[in-house]
Amino acid sequence: MSGARERTEKAMAAVPAFIEARRSIRAFTSEPVPRALLDSLVEAACLAPAPHHSRPWRWVVIDTDTGRRSLADGMGAQWRIDLAGDGVGPERIDELVESSRTKLTGAPALLLGCLTWDGLDRYPDETRRRAEWGMALLSLGAGVENLMLAAADAGLASCWVAAPIFCPEAARDALDLPQPWSPAALILVGSPAPDYTPRTRPPVPLDELRVNR
């Protein structure tokens, strides 16, 4: 095999380094992230592919104590109700909710991705309505990955937090957002704490995760 071809095949077999470089980093320094940089992350998110040329996303940039606390407390109140409904004891509830609050209020910036029906197709039946919303949600996920890759490229740490998708109304009301916005993805952003080591990433078991036809 020629050297050039061997190099090309090696390059094709490797995951690009910028994708490998993004890790979920859950600890930050207290250094604020400049708003212009946060805006550039949102812009990267908004370059994601979306169904039929829509942009069904809205982003909330939260970098004030009031904003962080309102969101953490609003979602925490709903989580308490859900955990109690699951039969979790009061002490454990306090522990879980407090730990989540500490995580959210300790991040220099929170970027909250919301979905709207703006630009999406409307269908009279539930099956297609769900598929349409599902497409929008997929595109928000693509946007979040863009955002996190852009953050890693800028030397920032980030971590996706699932909470708002479990309590969209609580998140929306906590931040006084417009009613049609449905919070769905929260990303913590900041400078990485120097002593944080990401969890070991297991190798991808390709033969279990894909088939060829």
Ligand X SMILES: Cc1cc2nc3c(=O)[nH]c(=O)nc-3n(C[C@H](O)[C@H](O)[C@H](O)COP(=O)(O)O)c2cc1C
Interatomic CA distance for residues 25 and 148, integer angstroms = 11
Cβ 137 vs Cβ 115: under 8 Å? yes
161 binding ligand X? (CB under 6 A): yes
Least spacing, CB of residue 207 vs ligand X, in Å: 20
162 binding ligand X? (CB under 6 A): yes
198 binding ligand X? (CB under 6 A): yes
DSSP structural state of residue 196: -
DSSP structural state of residue 34: P
How many CA atoms, within 13 angstroms, populate the side-chain half-sphere of residue 103?
19
Interatomic CA distance for residues 12 and 32, integer angstroms = 38
Size of interface with ligand X, in residues (CB under 6 A): 9
The two tokens of residue 5 are 């071809």
Least spacing, CB of residue 165 vs ligand X, in Å: 7
Q: Site for ligand X (CB under 6 A): which residue of 23, 55, 80, 129?
A: 23
Q: Site for ligand X (CB under 6 A): which residue of 10, 52, 53, 201?
A: 201
The phi and psi torsions of 48 (rounded to 5 degrees) equal -70, 155
If the CB atoms of residues 123 and 166 are measured against ligand X, the closer one turns out to be: 166
Least spacing, CB of residue 21 vs ligand X, in Å: 10
Q: Site for ligand X (CB under 6 A): which residue of 24, 54, 116, 191?
A: 24
E strand segments, 63-138: 109-115
If the CB atoms of residues 23 and 55 are measured against ligand X, the closer one turns out to be: 23
Strand-pair partners of 114: 58, 183
Q: Site for ligand X (CB under 6 A): which residue of 159, 171, 174, 175?
A: 159
- Which residues lie near ligand X (CB under 6 A)? 23-24, 26, 159-162, 198, 201
